[in-house]
């Protein structure tokens, strides 16, 4: 607790310092979910489905070809 101008402030002292922890937790959770979505438990391998809507947004290249539409457009202009 801190007093400023007669007001008692009750808050975390270093809120910006706590943000990276939560960002890392969210990122690791998302990455785990992505891997679990495409993990074949029987074959014990990652099954890449380039036409899947989830992977379309994540996949940048596949078999030497740029698959991301935004990057395709950028490199086509170059």
pLDDT tens sequence across 6-56: 999 888 888 788 888 889 999 999 999 999 999 999 999 999 888 898 888
pLDDT tens sequence across 54-67: 888 888 998 999 98
Cβ atoms within 10 Å, residue 52: 14
Which own/partner contact pairs does 9-14 have at CB distance under 8 Å and 24+ positions apart? none
Q: What is the DSSP letter of 11?
A: S
- CA-closest candidate to residue 35, choices 21, 23, 48: 48
d(CA 60, CA 47): 16
**What's the pLDDT at 14?**
83
The pTM score is 0.59
């Amino acid at each position: 607790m801190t007093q400023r101008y007669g007001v008692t402030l009750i808050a975390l002292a270093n809120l910006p310092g706590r943000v990276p922890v939560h960002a890392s937790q969210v990122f690791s959770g998302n990455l785990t979910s992505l891997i679990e979505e495409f993990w074949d438990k029987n074959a014990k391998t990652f099954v890449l489905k380039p036409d899947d809507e989830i992977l379309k947004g994540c996949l940048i290249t596949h078999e030497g070809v740029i698959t991301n539409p935004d990057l395709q457009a950028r490199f086509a202009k170059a």
